[in-house]
Amino acid sequence: MSHTALLGLLAETSIHAGAGQMATAIDLPIQREAHTGWPVIFGSAVKGALRARAEEQKVDWLFSVFGPDVGNAHEHAGALLVGDARLLLLPVRSLTGHFKWVTCPALLKRFAADAKRLELTAFSIDLPFDLLADDTVLLPQLTKTHVLYLEEFQFNTAERDFSAIIPVLAKLMGRDDAEAILNKQLVLVNDDRFNHLAQFATPVNPHICIDNATKTVKPGALWYEETLPPDTLLYVALHAQSARMKGSNQSAAEVLKHVTTELFQRPYLQLGGNETVGMGWCKVSIQTVTGKE
């Protein structure tokens, strides 16, 4: 039996998982995959957030699951393998209505491959879609105008059967109304068009620093910070192994249960920086091999 799980992460506030300071127009950009440019939260940051949550709960299995403290890191490795938080749905503003959840065939194919590797057969999906033109998007339900605007782009619309995809996405979102909302707001664009939206449709916010004495902006204290917007949907692959800590005999199944059952009595996780201003909160949906939370 494979001791694996998927964490669905639906952002409820903006997320800034930073890539460090850059000498570009955006001083503090978000983390991105090198080969695609798509937003991502690297596995080290996700594992750190999971570990911080375990530390807050003062669990007795912290070191066996996540490994020892930094000073003792040479003693043994942790038993939980944490993947990157990969993008699945990107919320994009639309001039023809409420925002849209945008995805593309490449994202869906990668998710299907990840689910197959984790032996999560309940998340197997087929993609019965032809290649898309740059000016066409696919919808579960056609709009009255047959035209859709995403950011500054105008698209023609076509209707397709998303019945094999929407239930899978809805499970990862962890919302009771997810299927109904996705039927209205899900949009499939081609890979190249999605690449542009993923690069340039993320929020960039200006920040300033106030001088406490004068209550005015400090000279030169202006910077721009990029974030992932609320309602972004990501997923994380988890793989558990038997504990390596000396004196521990925890099996891989027990390690996985610690995380999927005990760690999320409240189904929320805070990722990235700017925690003190309420950023980074995600609703967590846990999916195991059995397909149950």
The pLDDT tens digits for 98-115 are 899 999 999 999 999 999
- In the predicted structure, residue 130 carries a pLDDT above the cut 70: no
The pLDDT tens digits for 150-174 are 999 999 999 988 998 999 999 999 9
- In the predicted structure, residue 24 carries a pLDDT above the cut 90: no
Domain-by-domain residue ranges, the chain?
A: 4-288
Q: Cα separation of 196 and 283, whole Å?
A: 27
Length of the chain: 293
What mean pLDDT is predicted for residues 79-100? Answer: 95
Query: Is 7:286 a contact under the CB 8 Å cutoff?
Result: yes
Q: How far is CA 61 from each of CA 224, 255, 262, rounded to the nearest angstrom?
A: 40, 9, 11
Q: Cα separation of 243 and 66, whole Å?
A: 9
Residue 14 has, within 13 A of its CA and on its CB side, a CA count of: 15
Q: Which tokens in the block code for residue 239?
A: 């793989």
Q: How far is CA 89 from each of CA 6, 30, 51, 182, 232, rounded to the nearest angstrom?
A: 16, 16, 26, 10, 6
Poorest-confidence range of 6-15, 186-195, 240-249? 240-249
Q: Cα separation of 28 and 175, whole Å?
A: 31
Q: Which tokens in the block code for residue 55?
A: 């530390």
The CA R_g of the chain, rounded to the nearest whole Å, is 21
pLDDT-based confidence at residue 70 (cuts at 50, 70, 90): confident
Find, among 26, 160, 29, 43, the residue nearest to 103 by Cα: 160
149: left (phi over 0), alpha (psi -120 to 50) or beta: beta
The pLDDT tens digits for 173-200 are 999 999 999 999 999 999 999 999 999 9
The pLDDT tens digits for 212-229 are 888 888 887 888 999 999
pLDDT of residue 292: 46
Measured on CA atoms in the order 172, 123, 1, 40, is the torsion positive or negative? negative
16: left (phi over 0), alpha (psi -120 to 50) or beta: beta
